[in-house]
Amino acid sequence: MEIINKRLTLHEFRDYIKGYYFGSLPANKLVIHHTWRPTRESWQGEQTIAGLKNYYEGKGWKVGSHLFIADDGIWLFTPMQKNGIHAGSLNLRSIGIEVVGNYNVEKWSGETKTNALGAIKVLMERLGLTENDLFFHRDVSSKSCPGWAITKEWLFKELTVFRLKPRIPTADSASLEALSAPTPVSPPSDSDEMVFIPVPAWAQEAVDFVVTHRLFKITSSEDIRDAVKFYRFYLLIRQTHG
Ligand SMILES: [Zn+2]
């Protein structure tokens, strides 16, 4: 069994699927599972992934689920352009998402919840899926999977209010060169709430100023550069006029 065996943060996952090739017949549905075992407490990242791979290989499977979502991140397992084995009649053209833990009594919480909702939301957006394309394993099985505590009513409500937190700016983006670099043209996004613009440290003060004074909306790196120009001009004028 070939697995990707890579752990991504939610932001990294979003970037990863942006340019990901989902195959000539991309997945047209998501199937949500819980692992039941391993539990959230017994999850040990790479070690557990290796154990799961062994388990599937023992069944003679060449593929398994596509993603394992835990407190420590989003684990890439079977490549998403391949049909996996995870939900019987729903295996074809679906992405199998395993939320690590047992959710028969408790709902998702903490980082697991953030990672699960975030991954589902960005995948739905990337693949153009609606709530009707979101399945639970128990829709086609007598199991409780993804756990009795998880209902579609709850999940849909959570997805509606979910917002991706802005990415924390990294030190290496703090370069003045970026100020004069050409802005890559990106197509306008159809859902504003999912847009996040990483603000480099050197532009933070200017962006805060523009946002606080509601001068204009920051929706692109072009806006960030405008904010810096505007803020410098403002400081200059303030200086000159004492
Ligand atoms: Zn399942």
Last residue in a domain, options 121, 141, 161: 161
* 131 in the same domain as 44: yes
- Domain range for 176 is 171-240
Q: Which of 96-100, 168-172, 234-238 has the highest mean pLDDT?
A: 96-100
- Given pLDDT bands bounded at 50, 70 and 90, which one contains residue 167? confident
pLDDT of residue 171: 53
Residue 128 CA to ligand 1 centre (angstroms): 23
CB 74, CB 146: distance < 8 Å:
no
- Given pLDDT bands bounded at 50, 70 and 90, which one contains residue 222? confident
| Assigned domain for 141 exists | yes
Residue 35 CA to ligand 1 centre (angstroms): 7
| Assigned domain for 179 exists | yes
* 150 in the same domain as 45: yes
Residue 108 CA to ligand 1 centre (angstroms): 15
- Given pLDDT bands bounded at 50, 70 and 90, which one contains residue 2? very high
| Assigned domain for 166 exists | no
- Given pLDDT bands bounded at 50, 70 and 90, which one contains residue 104? very high
Question: How many Å apart are CA 212 and CA 71, to the nearest integer?
Answer: 34
| Assigned domain for 1 exists | no
Count of structural domains, the chain: 2
- Given pLDDT bands bounded at 50, 70 and 90, which one contains residue 166? confident
Residue 32 CA to ligand 1 centre (angstroms): 7
Residue 232 CA to ligand 1 centre (angstroms): 56
CB 189, CB 195: distance < 8 Å:
yes
* 37 in the same domain as 138: yes
Residue 101 CA to ligand 1 centre (angstroms): 12
* 205 in the same domain as 129: no
CB 22, CB 127: distance < 8 Å:
yes
- Maximum pairwise Cα distance, the chain: 77
Residue 144 CA to ligand 1 centre (angstroms): 8
Residue 148 CA to ligand 1 centre (angstroms): 12
E strand residue ranges, 116-200: 134-136
| Polymer length of the chain | 242
| Assigned domain for 90 exists | yes
| Assigned domain for 129 exists | yes
Residue 37 CA to ligand 1 centre (angstroms): 11
* 176 in the same domain as 153: no
Question: How many Å apart are CA 115 and CA 179, to the nearest integer?
Answer: 32
- Looking at residues 221-237, what average pLDDT do you find? 85
Neighbour tally for 235: CB within 10 Å: 13
Residue 88 CA to ligand 1 centre (angstroms): 10
* 136 in the same domain as 31: yes
* 112 in the same domain as 19: yes
As a dihedral over the C-alpha atoms of residue 156, residue 17, residue 66, residue 84, rounded to 10 degrees, the angle is 100
- Looking at residues 162-180, what average pLDDT do you find? 64
Residue 242 CA to ligand 1 centre (angstroms): 67
Coil, helix or strand at residue 98: strand
* 147 in the same domain as 86: yes
Residue 46 CA to ligand 1 centre (angstroms): 21
How would you classify the pairing of strands 134-136 and 67-70? unpaired
- Given pLDDT bands bounded at 50, 70 and 90, which one contains residue 208? confident
Neighbour tally for 48: CB within 10 Å: 17
* 189 in the same domain as 89: no
Give 128-149 as a DSSP string. T--GGGEEEGGGSSSS-TT-TT
* 185 in the same domain as 153: no
- Looking at residues 157-174, what average pLDDT do you find? 78
* 193 in the same domain as 94: no
Residue 29 CA to ligand 1 centre (angstroms): 15
pLDDT of residue 92: 97
Residue 59 CA to ligand 1 centre (angstroms): 16
* φ, ψ for residue 6, nearest 5 deg: -135, 140
Residue 110 CA to ligand 1 centre (angstroms): 21
Q: What CATH number is associated with residue 10?
A: 3.40.80.10
* 176 in the same domain as 145: no
Last residue in a domain, options 101, 134, 161: 161
Last residue in a domain, options 115, 137, 161: 161
Which of 73, 174, 88 lies closest to 137 in space, CA to CA?
Answer: 88
* φ, ψ for residue 201, nearest 5 deg: -55, -40
